[in-house]
Structure 1
Amino acid sequence: MADKIDLLSLSLAEIDRFLADLGLEGYRSSQIKRWIFKEGVTAFDQMSNLSKKTKSLLEKNSFLSRLKIEKILFSSDGAKKYIFQVDQENTIESVLIPDKSRLTLCISTQAGCSRGCKFCLTGKKGLSRNLTSSEIINQVLEVKRDIGKEIRISNLVIMGMGEPLDNFENVKKTVTIMLDREGFDFSSRRITLSTSGVIPGIKDLIESGLNINLAVSLNASSDKKRDVLMPVNRAFPLKELIVMIKNYPLKKRSRITFEYILLGGINDSLEDAENLVRLLKGIKAKINLLNFNPFPGSKFSLSSPGRVLEFQNFLMSKNLAVNLRKSRGIDILAACGQLGGKG
């Protein structure tokens, strides 16, 4: 196995070159990519339109990696959490979220996270390592195999464990495969990447031309509060972050999503809401409000229903697009900020 190439670690162009070097025709490469990404096969002998000779050649020189599912947890609200073992020391988590006509898969990009957001369990655990592109892709493949080919994942959100822009090259390779017709063939409108506000990474994302949806985990409207809640703000303060966000290319009818977790008595006052309105002036923004999701050892409390409503109504009165999100999978530690707790 050591001398074999994991086809899932390669870009689509690299797969083409590798197979060409083995002496396979171009149309064979298209067939093989279809078997891998569309059909989700786990072995070359499942590729029924390939000759025995071709299958043997592939088997001798390459392999298809997999992720081991350690556990699947089911929430009472329909969400489903997958716990994958990526090595002897680390597990990662993905969450499948059904919602009316949509089926959204939330995937991870790191084992842990270095950014240390105070309201996030993953951040409290620290960073073990970046995931490889094959480990990110395999989350999608394993979930697709579990639910069956007849059920389609409609939306992909890169909002699981880790800061995606701290693992940009592997995320870029993965998203490119997600978007390509010979890969997973997702529309760019159906993929959203969430960042804590890593400015150089946002610049890289802009320059990549991937043109997927961008979500920014904001959670405070002043540097004073955000410095405490999100240490990333000390390196990339709000004024500089907003300037970079204004450069992000938006498709027609698209907006930048700002995620704002309401923490009781911390960031949920009318003054916070007023600051948020000023901060986002001139940006085509959508604000996702989310009440805090507690986890073992967390020191924050939920914002009261009345305070949440007051905060939401104030933003709406200023003509901002606001969505009050209902957390999914709280009972299995699958909600925003809870990943890494296993459940």
Structure 2
Amino acid sequence: MGIIAHLKAAEILEQVWHARHEVPAGYSVRNVVFMGMGEPLDNFDALLGALRGLTHQSLFDLASKHVTVSTVGASPERIRRLADAAPKVRLALSLHSATLPLRQQLIPSATSMPALTDALDYHARSTGCGLMVEYLLIDGVNDRQCDADALAAFCAERDAASASAMPLMSRKQARAAAGYVNLIPFNPTEVGAAHGYATPSDESVERFHAWLREKHGVNALVRWTSAVGRDAQGACGQLVA
């Protein structure tokens, strides 16, 4: 779809305001994730303004640990700036492949892996927060055992960087510093079909999940709920296409 406009901080916060007034009685907005609205780090100043508003006690008063910024990691320098400016806000990375050639195929803006991992490790050391990895599983593309092995190695390196920041951390700190992986089965779109991408079978997803958890001990979760709305072309990743 391309960039139409950058939202102002107030426009971002207004979405949360509307969400607060739409939730049923007895419920509240407790978590906010910057995802599915373009690349947040491309709109860095407005992002910081929105983060300040979300966590300010006189505005939305959300705990920083309940706010997550998701990025494809195209700007390692801005990941470092985010760590300095909002050290308690959590970070999510849309990875989709732990090897650069395949990652660049899936994410054309992907930068070099050393630059990206250096920035991620800086974020971990600065914040003490573990990285959430978003991994879209595409049938026959990035759901092989070699892909799981590469992803597990990537996660192990990031966890080691977090641990090195706090060698005497408590169990509570260790849990906060440990990263985890969200496995998201691909939802079909016309654009995806044009590239030959298809949804993996449930068995394939479970096998990939088992490789991560049982073979490598990676904290991973399958987001089966991402398929909700698939029949109406409104599931995760389908809204624009």
TM-score range relative to shorter protein: 0.7 to 0.9
Structure 1 segment 181-260 matched on structure 2, within 5 A:
181-197=57-73, 198-233=75-110, 236-249=111-124, 254-260=129-135
Structure 2 CA distance for partners of 1:247 and 1:129, relative to 1, 3 Å = same
Note the alpha carbon deviations across 1:97-118, whole angstroms, 9 max, x for none: xxxxxxxxxxxxxxxxxxxxxx
Structure 2 CA distance for partners of 1:156 and 1:332, relative to 1, 3 Å = farther
- Letter in structure 2 aligned against 1:164: P
Please give the secondary structure, in 1, of the residue aligned with 2:157: coil
Coordinate RMSD, CA, aligned = 1.8
CA distance in 2, matches of 1:156, 1:340: 21
Aligned match of 1:279: 154
Give me the identity figure in percent.
29
Native 8 Å contact 2:124 2:130 kept in 1 = no
- Letter in structure 2 aligned against 1:335: A
Q: Structure 2 unaligned runs (5+)?
A: 160-178
Native 8 Å contact 1:161 1:339 kept in 2 = no
Q: Structure 1 unaligned runs (5+)?
A: 1-124
- Letter in structure 1 aligned against 2:82: L
TM-superposed CA distance for 1:149, in Å, is 6.4
Structure 1 segment 45-124 matched on structure 2, within 5 A:
none
Native 8 Å contact 1:176 1:210 kept in 2 = no
Aligned match of 1:92: none
TM-superposed CA distance for 1:182, in Å, is 0.6
Aligned match of 1:318: 216
Question: Normalising by the residue count of structure 1, what TM-score does the alignment of the two structures yield?
Answer: 0.59
Larger radius of gyration, structure 1 or 2? 1
Give the number of aligned pairs.
Answer: 214
TM-superposed CA distance for 1:212, in Å, is 0.7
- Letter in structure 2 aligned against 1:135: E
CA distance in 1, matches of 2:87, 2:43: 15
2:239 corresponds to 1:339: yes
Question: Normalising by the residue count of structure 2, what TM-score does the alignment of the two structures yield?
Answer: 0.82
Note the alpha carbon deviations across 1:144-179, whole angstroms, 9 max, x for none: 222366431121111122000000100110110100
Please give the secondary structure, in 2, of the residue aligned with 1:152: coil
